[in-house]
Amino acid sequence: MPAAFTRDRLTWLAYLLLAWFAYLQAAPGLVIPHLRDELDIGYTVGGLHVAAFAAGALASGLVSSWVEQAVGRRRLLWSSAALMGLGAAGLTAGPVVAATLLAVLVMGLGGGMLLATIQATLADHHGDLRTVALTEANVAASLAYVVLVGAFWLVAVLGAGWRAALLASLVVPLVAWAANRGLAIDAPAPPAEGHGRLPALFWVAAGVLVCCTAAEWCITAWGASFVDEAVDVSADDAVTLMVGYFGGVLVGRVVGSRLARRHDPALLLGVALVVAAVGFVVLWPSGVPVQAVAGLALLGLGVGNLFPMALSLAVSLAPEQAARASGRAVAVTSLAVMLSPLLVGSLADATSLHAALAVVPVTLALAAAGLLVVRQGRRARVSTPV
């Protein structure tokens, strides 16, 4: 009988902080339509804001395991949260593009280390049940996406402006720290073999993770702008319609977290790729709100499980090196977040946003190909006599 999955105080803290991270991570994509109006910028410069966050997270992912060894996991967790909050506050105060880009870069620096630390903590804390923990954590993240859309809708109705939606979120890490500052958050001592290289198959899985993340962030960053143009609605209404996407992500991750208790993450990842592809086929030709929301919802249903399942698959290939594997996963996914929205923005400036989003099915196909390689590699490794 499989061991029972237990959500203790540390687990709930990790879920809460990951939800807050996700709220701020998705914010630049929803802020872009407003920044384009306020600062008179194009798609490419708008995409740079998402890229700046990812660049900071990329740098953090490369050094997070080293920083953790130097300062300890507990101190790294809280200092990373503080740095991310500082960047968010800076974004709301930035009067020019240079200032907003710098603020988002700081958000990414703090956020990347926060994400790597949370993922490593959950993987170490729950061991063989890491897939359940990581998937549930991403349920919390997807719930935060829905809350973010709701917050943007509320501040628009109240006339408070998008900045209020970001500043209000800073209460979360402050309350979390006040309630848990004495909680032990320790990393296990790594075994001697943990200092070696990550296995080659991990890097194939990391490539799958890159493609999955690229597909997700093409929609997260440009979904609102696509709906704005395709359906011909206002920026505020386009952001509101993104609730279909984020709602689909939430439902997908709730279902995925249940299925992860009984099924291989590689199998679930394959199903999620198919559902995401169907969602894109519905969304791409949409010209009315109903079809756009339906396509976004299907996309979210599939996309919602791409990252957690691909991440769990990658970390499972190096279970004794959770901190290093998590850090490298953050780095490679941050590279995808940095390049894919920027690529779509550049293609949109050269052609159209409709044509540029054809990047999504390409990345889904590449992820599927990489998944086949990983599954074959796992079978070969299991069948090889020791």
Per-residue tokens: 385: 């006599």
The predicted pLDDT at position 386 comes to: 41
* DSSP letter assigned to residue 351: S
What does pTM read for this prediction? Answer: 0.74
- Quickly tell me which residue has 């079809």 as its tokens: 291
Which residues does the chain have with pLDDT short of 70?
1-3, 188-196, 319, 322, 381-386
- How many H-runs (helices) and E-runs (strands) does the chain carry? 16, 0
Chain segment 76-91, per-residue pLDDT in tens: 999 999 999 999 999 9
* Nearest-angstrom CA–CA distance, 112 and 124: 18
In the prediction, which pLDDT does 190 show?
Answer: 58
Helix, strand, or coil (residue 185): coil
Cβ contacts of 323 within 8 Å, gap of 6 or more = 64, 65, 68, 116, 120, 124, 187, 190
- Cβ-in-10-Å burial (0-12, 13-18, 19+) of 300 comes to buried
What's residue 1's pLDDT? 42
Mean pLDDT of the chain: 85
Query: Which pLDDT value is given to residue 52?
Result: 86
User: 9-381 has which fold?
Assistant: Growth Hormone; Chain: A; (1.20.1250)
Question: Is residue 354 within 8 Å of residue 228, measured between CB atoms?
Answer: no
Q: How large is the greatest C-alpha to C-alpha distance in the chain, in angstroms? A: 66
Going from N- to C-terminal start, the domains of the chain cover: 9-381
- Number of neighbouring beta carbons within 10 Å of residue 381: 11
Burial (CB < 10 A; 0-12, 13-18, 19+), residue 329, is buried
Rounded to whole angstroms, what are the CA distances from 161 to 3, 38, 91, 154, 382? 48, 12, 13, 9, 55
pLDDT of amino acid 315: 80
What would the pLDDT profile of 316-337 be if each residue is shown by its tens digit? 887 677 677 777 887 888 888 7
